[in-house]
């Protein structure tokens, strides 16, 4: 079956389900977790539908730091099992399922006067342990080089903006980086579609009653009842709407978007310790297309969950001030071209009192990043918590639970060996006849994106000043990635929307794409 998603396919498949065709498993939510569940279930031979109220990757999954973590932070906190899980999942993404979307990135902790000798020693021990975990997970040093100490000259070569005075060298450690988090979600959804899953955006699940799911098509305003033998709730920070027994304590993480030139075009991520905290850092992580994301914060976000969280002025200030302590020349608000915030779907701790008890206050930074799979008395399996890095295990555990609960005839999980659309071994990707920028986003499909410009070379030019995105990518998103409007194009299939000024310039080109007819 085709992996292409489009408005026409959506309309056809929604009509089939609305007319009474039953599915084995219906997934609510198409963030990384829900898209992962859809793929896992479809790959086991189940009939699957996956619905999102908005779009692929509309929620937290598009606001992440875009890192595929090896679990260093969990090691430092003593959570060995979780750290191993992260390293094992990083290996699978990097080497088997999404080598086109994940690459190795050096992280450098400059040894400035802010980093005491004791902290340096502690960091070295942590990096060595992370290296050991990498090896145990089977990732060769050729793919993710070993951690090591480097001299001041090399620190400055990788991170030209770091303050020279008092620099004693640096520690470098390697981890995984996604080209963009939404591209992973889109690849998961399309791979699931290729195995027959119906991927339906703009479909809000309003209620689940036994085997009947009430759905509002937000494009037309019409309501439908879809029959499903099992339901998985993968709605992240909104999970409580479908299962009020799940207790979450969301925490807001904010990033700033900077132009790479403001930091001298860094070739590594800059790690800055947060003063007065033992295991917290701010990261300035280089991105494709000449940008750097500076993150991140960890603030409790109690109260109603907004569709799109907003960074606060205090968070923006904290990030800039923490970074500036390590730079030769301080950045100012004028260097910030965008900012975004996301809500982590953290599981509430009893001590945090989020369960209604008058417990000890727990900082969200200390709450567990483990995931929860829970089947309610109403028969809804909720999967929540975890990390983008561990989405595959979350999906596996959720499908296992739903299959067991509903008695579905399903094969064993096989996603550890299932390449996503566009995936190919690194040696093959290196020879794909297309610009590296496109290969990093579309992998082996990059030539097909280029081919859309045949007879219309203008489609290969950037669509506006300030961006590298081409018209061919927008057209591809409409024809093959289920983009239904300009917001899908600018805010999710591409990330131009992270820089409001560039978004305004790109709007006309995005509108024009919808005026083109299918060939």
Site for ligand FAD in 67-86 (CB under 6 A): 67, 69
Phi-psi region of 379 (alpha: psi -120 to 50; beta: other; left: phi over 0): left
Task: Select the span of 59-67, 147-155, 460-468, 499-507 touching ligand FAD (CB under 6 A).
Answer: 59-67
Shortest reach from residue 297's CB to ligand FAD, in Å = 8
Question: Does 64 help bind ligand FAD (rule: CB under 6 A)?
Answer: yes
Overall size of the chain counted in residues:
519
Shortest reach from residue 242's CB to ligand FAD, in Å = 6
Give the DSSP H/E element, type plus range, for residue 320: helix 313-324
CA pair distance 460, 215, nearest whole angstrom? 39
Q: Out of 388, 434, 439, 496, point to the residue binding ligand FAD (CB under 6 A).
A: 388
Q: Out of 387, 495, 499, 503, point to the residue binding ligand FAD (CB under 6 A).
A: 387
Give the DSSP H/E element, type plus range, for residue 231: strand 223-233
Closer residue to ligand FAD (CB): 232 or 438: 232
293-312 footprint of ligand FAD as x/- string (CB under 6 A): ---x----------------
476-505 footprint of ligand FAD as x/- string (CB under 6 A): ------------------------------
Neighbours of 387 (CB within 10 A): 24
Burial of 194 (0-12, 13-18, 19+ CB in 10 A): middle
Task: Select the span of 31-39, 128-136, 163-171, 427-435 touching ligand FAD (CB under 6 A).
Answer: 31-39
Site for ligand FAD in 334-353 (CB under 6 A): 342-345
Give the DSSP H/E element, type plus range, for residue 321: helix 313-324
CA pair distance 458, 350, nearest whole angstrom? 58
**Helix, strand, or coil here: 365?**
helix
List all residues 6 or more positions away from 25 whose beta carbon is below 8 Å from its beta carbon.
Answer: 37, 41, 46, 47, 48, 49, 228, 229, 230, 231, 232, 399, 402, 403, 406, 408
244-273 footprint of ligand FAD as x/- string (CB under 6 A): ---------x--------------------
Q: What is the DSSP letter of 481?
A: B
347-386 footprint of ligand FAD as x/- string (CB under 6 A): ---------------------------------------x
Q: Do 127 and 121 meet the contact criterion of CB atoms below 8 Å apart?
A: no
Closer residue to ligand FAD (CB): 29 or 466: 29
CA pair distance 54, 195, nearest whole angstrom? 22
Q: Which residues bind ligand FAD (CB under 6 A)?
A: 28-34, 51-54, 58-61, 63-67, 69, 204-205, 234-238, 241, 253, 296, 342-345, 386-389
């Amino acid at each position: 079956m085709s992996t292409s998603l489009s408005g026409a396919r959506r309309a056809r498949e929604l009509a089939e389900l609305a007319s009474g065709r039953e599915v084995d498993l219906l997934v609510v939510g198409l963030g990384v977790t829900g898209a992962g569940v859809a793929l896992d279930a479809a790959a086991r031979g189940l009939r699957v539908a996956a619905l999102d109220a908005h779009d692929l990757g509309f929620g937290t999954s598009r606001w992440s730091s875009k890192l595929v973590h090896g679990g260093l932070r969990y090691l430092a906190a003593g959570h060995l099992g979780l750290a191993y899980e992260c390293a094992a999942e990083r290996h699978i993404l990097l080497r088997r399922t999404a080598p086109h979307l994940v690459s190795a990135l050096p992280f450098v902790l400059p040894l400035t006067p802010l980093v005491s000798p004791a902290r340096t020693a502690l960091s070295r021990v942590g990096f060595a342990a992370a290296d050991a975990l990498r090896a145990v997970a089977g990732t060769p040093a050729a793919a993710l080089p070993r951690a090591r100490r480097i001299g001041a000259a090399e620190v400055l070569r990788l991170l030209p903006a770091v303050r020279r005075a008092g620099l004693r060298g640096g520690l470098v450690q390697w981890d995984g980086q996604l080209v963009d988090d939404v591209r992973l979600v889109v690849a998961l959804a399309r791979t699931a579609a290729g195995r027959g899953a119906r991927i339906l955006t703009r479909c809000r699940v309003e209620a689940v009653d036994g085997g009947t799911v009430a759905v509002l098509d937000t494009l037309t305003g019409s309501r439908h009842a879809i029959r499903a033998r099992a339901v998985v709730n993968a709605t992240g920070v909104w999970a409580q709407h479908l299962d009020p027994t799940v207790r979450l304590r969301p925490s807001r993480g904010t990033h700033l978007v900077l132009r790479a030139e403001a930091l001298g075009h860094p070739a590594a991520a800059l790690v800055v310790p947060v003063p007065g905290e033992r295991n917290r850092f701010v990261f300035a992580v280089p991105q494709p297309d000449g940008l750097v994301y500076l993150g991140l914060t960890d603030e409790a976000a109690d109260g109603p969950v907004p569709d799109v969280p907003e960074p606060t002025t205090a968070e923006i200030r904290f990030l800039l001030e923490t970074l500036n302590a390590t730079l030769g020349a301080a950045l100012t608000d004028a260097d910030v071209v965008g900012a975004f915030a996301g809500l982590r779907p953290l599981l509430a701790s009893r001590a945090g009192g989020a369960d209604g008890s008058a417990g000890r206050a727990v900082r969200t930074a200390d709450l567990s990043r483990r995931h929860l799979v829970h089947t309610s008395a109403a028969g809804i399996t909720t999967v929540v918590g975890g990390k983008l890095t561990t989405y595959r295990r979350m999906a596996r555990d959720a499908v296992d639970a739903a299959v067991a609960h509903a008695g579905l005839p399903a094969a064993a999980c096989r996603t550890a060996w299932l390449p996503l659309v566009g995936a190919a071994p690194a040696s093959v990707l290196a020879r794909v006849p297309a610009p590296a920028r496109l290969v990093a986003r579309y992998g082996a499909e990059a030539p097909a994106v280029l081919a859309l410009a045949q007879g219309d070379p203008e489609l290969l030019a950037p669509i506006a000043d300030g961006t590298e995105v081409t018209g061919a990518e927008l057209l591809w998103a409409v024809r093959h990635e289920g983009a239904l409007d300009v917001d899908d194009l600018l805010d999710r299939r591409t990330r131009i929307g992270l820089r409001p000024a560039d978004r305004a310039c790109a709007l006309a080109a995005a509108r024009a794409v919808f005026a083109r007819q299918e060939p």
